[in-house]
Amino acid sequence: MVVRMDTEKMITRTEAAARLGVSVRTVDRYIRQGRITAVQYSTAHKPDGSNPVRIREGSVRAYIAACEVTVSDPAGHDGGPAPESDTRI
């Protein structure tokens, strides 16, 4: 049997949820969808029925980075206040 010793930090589902700003149920869904990587470290369930899993911290960081977007203004506005509109009633 080969034992692999990863040096990457592993975090709980609750910690991942806090970093992502989502619920633990959403983290579970992300794991099922393959958006983030989790490792099940035991085949036995806890008394509350939950799976003892840990999530790779790098997986959460990568997911956050993949979700970042840069918004550009196609109208060419410089980010200043919006031009006043001429609305007459």
Length of the chain: 89
In a domain, 82, yes or no: no
pLDDT of the residue at 85: 58
Q: Which residue has the higher pLDDT, 21 or 4?
A: 21
For residue 41, the model assigns a pLDDT of: 75
CATH of the domain at 32: 1.10.1660
Residue 88 lies in a domain: no
User: How many whole angstroms separate alpha carbon 35 and alpha carbon 18?
Assistant: 16
Say how far apart CA 50 and CA 42 lie, in whole Å. 11
Residues 4-14 have a mean pLDDT of 80
Q: What is the pLDDT of residues 14-50, one digit of tens each?
A: 999 999 999 999 999 999 999 999 988 766 666 766 6
Q: Is residue 5 part of a domain?
A: no
- Judged by phi (left if over 0) then psi (alpha if -120 to 50, else beta), residue 49 lies in left
State pTM to two decimals. Answer: 0.63
The band of 53, judged by pLDDT with boundaries at 50, 70 and 90, is confident
Q: Is residue 73 part of a domain?
A: no
How many domains does the chain fold into? 1
